[in-house]
Structure 1
Amino acid sequence: MIVEEIREELFRKQDLNYRDFICRLIPNTNPETIIGVRTPVLRKYAKQLVKREDVRDFLKALPHRYQDENLLHGLVLAEIKEFDLCLKEVNQFLPYINNWAVCDMLSPKVFQRYHQELLVYIRKWLKSEEEYTVRFAIGMLMEHFLGDDFTLEYVELVTKVHLDSYYVKMMVAWYFATGLAKQYEKILPYMEGKYLDTWTHNKTIQKALESYRITFEQKTYLRTLKVKK
């Protein structure tokens, strides 16, 4: 079966030093579930697997046992060219995402061509009680809707997210910091108006100060907006 074949191949591609590194990055994940396959290797493997008809058997085999299988799953989904099929597979996979690394790896290429259709589902995902479903939705807004398709309506969607989760709040901060880099004048009023909770507000400023895309003058002003605890 393809599931066993994939697992055996992942262990053949294992890098023990990389596994130890990943274990430190994702402390809330059982180290025994991490094989340790580097991302470029997984990407190459995913492009091979997506061409196989039996890859559907792997995608249906949820939940996966290993972190690397989840990462590979997300990378296979990224290669699916049919929007409806990709969206169906994403919806089936989202409930099984159990850490930020798998969540942030999931970025289907086909979504770039179907922004309006994607928005319908982003709105649904934002209402979820599952932290990584919400984090994924915010990530999709950050990736696809801070450029030419940007409107303040999307910013409002993020400000209304109140799921009390560290990984959701981190993504909100990442969204606003990226927004400051791409849409500074339009995002700035949200920082000046203290629309976010104190922790997320200050984390946004911290991440913005680390950005090379924000000018020295802008950073100087952002420092004045930090809220003292």
Structure 2
Amino acid sequence: MNRIELIERLSELAEPSYRSFQQKLQVSEGQVYGVRAKALQNLAKQIASTHGTLALKKLLSYDSLSYEETIILYKLFGQITLTEEERLSYLPNMLPYNHSWATNDCLASEMKWIRKNREFYYPYFSTLLNHKAPYDKRLGIVTLMLYYLESTTIEEVLKRLSHVESGHYYVMMALAWAFATAYCKDKEKTLPYMQPGRLAETVRRKTIQKCIESRLVSDEDKALLKVLRKKP
């Protein structure tokens, strides 16, 4: 399937009302066709089975992609069989297409193969936390949240995340998401970061809010967190 055929297929699957909905959610700064997630998943699966790595390389040859093409690219990256070294070599090439919270979180969630070799990929995603580009930072944060909040790595990850500096809304929200997730996994290791001064105040308060809204947090802990939230 060449690009013209892909765009024709996306146009056929597009729903104008869904496109308007996605634009309100700011899923992309570029072209949005309005194709639902299930249809994109099926299309990516079809492309992966018929064109494999060739399709991946072809999409990476373009300077810019539509939102749906980017989602397909990231899904292909998650599905196609590659060596660990090949995946690591492809990762920097994925970053230029990551322009929104939606593309970012799709890429992070598709890389499930990280679980099989966390130690190998950890240095790369840790390095992203120091990048200037906000969505590079968010990719590092969300990936560490999804795959590294384990008993053996959670302390190191929380320490690294606490040093991330950014005033970008979607970076701060990713940090709050990560710390709230960590709290649900290991309250004792995460609670110290809820104290004033450990995180940017916006991140701290948003983290506490997310914990309070979570069904995984007990009423007793929510009461404690509400007290912490009031601390100057």
Fold-level similarity (TM above 0.5): yes
User: Relative to structure 2, which stretch is displaced further, 154-163 or 143-152?
Assistant: 143-152
**TM-score under structure 1 normalisation?**
0.91
Task: Tell me the alpha carbon deviations over residues 16-72 of structure 1, each in whole angstroms, 9 at most, x when there is no partner.
Answer: 221111111117735xx1101111111121122123143134332333341111111
- Judge conservation of contact 1:177–1:205 (CA < 8 Å) in 2: yes
| Distance in 2 between residues matched to 1:190 and 1:65, nearest whole Å | 39
| Distance in 2 between residues matched to 1:109 and 1:2, nearest whole Å | 27
SS state of the match for residue 29, structure 2?
coil
Q: Does 1:94 align with 2:95?
A: yes
Find the partner of 1:129 among 120, 127, 132.
132
Task: Tell me the alpha carbon deviations over residues 177-208 of structure 1, each in whole angstroms, 9 at most, x when there is no partner.
Answer: 11111111110011125311111111111111
- After superposition, the Cα gap between the structure-2 partners of 1:14 and 1:219, relative to the gap in structure 1 and judged at 3 Å, is same
Q: Please name the residue that 2:6 is paired with.
A: 6
RMSD over aligned Cα atoms: 1.9
Listed as ranges, the matches of 1:146-157 within 5 Å are 146-157=149-160
Q: Please name the residue that 1:140 is paired with.
A: 143
Q: Please name the residue that 1:74 is paired with.
A: 74
- After superposition, the Cα gap between the structure-2 partners of 1:112 and 1:80, relative to the gap in structure 1 and judged at 3 Å, is farther
Residue identity over aligned pairs, in percent, reads 30
| Distance in 2 between residues matched to 1:40 and 1:75, nearest whole Å | 12
| Distance in 1 between residues matched to 2:81 and 2:220, nearest whole Å | 43
- Judge conservation of contact 1:62–1:96 (CA < 8 Å) in 2: no
Q: Please name the residue that 2:25 is paired with.
A: 25
| Distance in 2 between residues matched to 1:62 and 1:124, nearest whole Å | 26
Partner amino acid, structure 2, of 1:88: S
Partner amino acid, structure 2, of 1:164: G
- After superposition, the Cα gap between the structure-2 partners of 1:214 and 1:134, relative to the gap in structure 1 and judged at 3 Å, is same
Partner amino acid, structure 2, of 1:77: F
Structure 1, unaligned runs of 5 or more = none
| Distance in 2 between residues matched to 1:80 and 1:87, nearest whole Å | 14
Listed as ranges, the matches of 1:1-229 within 5 Å are 2-26=2-26, 29=29, 33-51=31-49, 52-53=51-52, 54-82=54-82, 83-106=84-107, 107=109, 108-227=111-230
SS state of the match for residue 222, structure 1?
helix
Partner amino acid, structure 2, of 1:124: T
| Distance in 2 between residues matched to 1:14 and 1:129, nearest whole Å | 34
| Distance in 2 between residues matched to 1:174 and 1:55, nearest whole Å | 33
